[in-house]
């Protein structure tokens, strides 16, 4: 069983059942961010967003840009700080 199949089973309930379409990248980032631990790496966020969105060919930069966009949206509930720029480690802020 590959990574996308395994993660897909974990996040399957989070995908909008009422919508038959795949969630947008931005919505997928919000879903995955909510499930991430307090401290997480960008690589794990990106791989899980690819699974939730159903798009394996999303550029990493797109996922990180959507994460930054969500942080600027006060209503999104996404707030974090970058702990290590070189290793791309993030920490959630309540």
Please give the chain's pLDDT, 94 residues, in tens.
676 666 666 666 555 454 468 899 999 999 999 999 999 999 999 999 999 999 999 999 999 999 999 999 989 999 999 999 999 999 999 8
Which pLDDT score is estimated for 94?
80
Which pLDDT score is estimated for 21?
81
Which pLDDT score is estimated for 31?
96
Any long-range contacts for 21-26 (C-beta under 8 Å, 24+ apart)? 22/53, 22/54, 22/55, 23/52, 23/53, 23/54, 24/53, 25/49, 25/53, 25/55, 25/58, 25/62, 25/63, 25/66, 26/66, 26/69, 26/70
CATH code reported for the domain at 3-92: 1.10.10
Q: What is the pTM of this model?
A: 0.77
> In the chain, how long is the greatest CA-to-CA distance?
40
Domain range list for the chain = 3-92
């Amino acid at each position: 069983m590959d990574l996308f199949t395994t993660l897909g089973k974990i996040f399957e309930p989070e995908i909008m059942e009422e919508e038959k379409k795949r969630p947008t990248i931005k919505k997928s980032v919000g879903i995955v961010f909510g499930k991430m631990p307090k401290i997480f790496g960008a690589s794990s966020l990106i791989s899980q967003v690819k699974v939730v969105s159903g798009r394996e060919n999303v550029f990493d930069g797109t996922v990180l840009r959507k994460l930054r966009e969500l942080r600027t949206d006060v209503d999104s509930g996404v707030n974090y700080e970058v702990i290590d720029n070189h290793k791309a480690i993030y920490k959630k802020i309540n």
